[in-house]
Amino acid sequence: MRAIIGEALEDAEENDPKRLKAKVAELEKELANAGKAAAPDPRALREAEERGRAAAGEEFRRVGQSEGYGRAIHDAVSALKSLRPNDVGPVDAAPEPASRIATVQEERAPASGPASSTSCSLGKAERLVLTALAQYPDGRTKVQVALLTGYAVGGGGFKNALGALRSNGFIEGYDILVITAGGLDALGPFEPLPRGKARDRVIE
């Protein structure tokens, strides 16, 4: 009996209108809160839309550029194909720089004349021998010339100088050495060799 009474009381409490209304109100509140949590943030929605528009615009721009480049290339190829062979003239060679032309002309220009004998390269001993003989146009012996120039008469440098001067026609003679007109021309302006009384007595 007590068990039956207890169950009856529990059923009465569960079916109490006040309790049922409170339960319904609690459930409605939970549903409202759940709806708010599920609703998206308006700001996040706007940012997502802006990002989508920007990405779409960039893609449209890229596609447009690609199509523009492709169209330009196609037009250029079509224009080249439409040209006749005679429409394209020969390509002129690039003009040669003026500096290069001047250099070539200078290289090809003929010499103005024979080189002067004064430009002949004389060694030190050769120049001293010619200078000594130029001071004595009537000539001097090899010993005297060696004394004037400071060389040994039997030395190799002195002998080689005399041989070179004879080969070039700048001096004549063997025992008596005489300078030629060609030798004077080859020597050019010269400074007389120093002289002393003792040396002059031997040479004279």
Residue 171 lies in a domain: yes
176: domain CATH number is 1.10.10.10
User: DSSP of 29-66, one letter per residue?
Assistant: HHHHHHHHHHSPPHHHHHHHHHHHHHHHHHHHHHHHHH
Residue 138 lies in a domain: yes
DSSP designation for 140: E
Q: What is the pLDDT of residues 68-120, one digit of tens each?
A: 667 777 776 676 666 655 554 555 555 555 555 555 455 554 444 444 444 46
Q: Note whether 195 and 163 are within 8 A (CB).
A: no
Residue 169 lies in a domain: yes
Residue 14 lies in a domain: yes
Burial 136-158, CB ≥16 within 10 A → b, else e: beebbebebbbbbbebeeeeeeb
Residue 140 lies in a domain: yes
On whether the pTM is more than 0.85, the answer is no
Written as one letter, the residue type at 75 is D
Residue 152 lies in a domain: yes
For residue 162, the tally of other CB atoms under 10 A from its CB is: 22
Q: Note whether 180 and 170 are within 8 A (CB).
A: yes
Residue 148 lies in a domain: yes
Per-residue model confidence as pLDDT tens for the chain (204 residues):
656 555 655 665 566 667 767 777 887 787 777 656 556 678 888 888 888 888 777 776 775 666 666 777 777 667 666 665 555 455 555 555 555 555 545 555 444 444 444 446 899 999 999 999 999 989 999 999 999 999 999 999 999 999 999 999 999 998 899 999 999 999 999 998 876 544 555 566
Q: How many structural domains does the chain have?
A: 2
Residue 101 lies in a domain: no
- What range does the domain containing 28 cover? 2-38
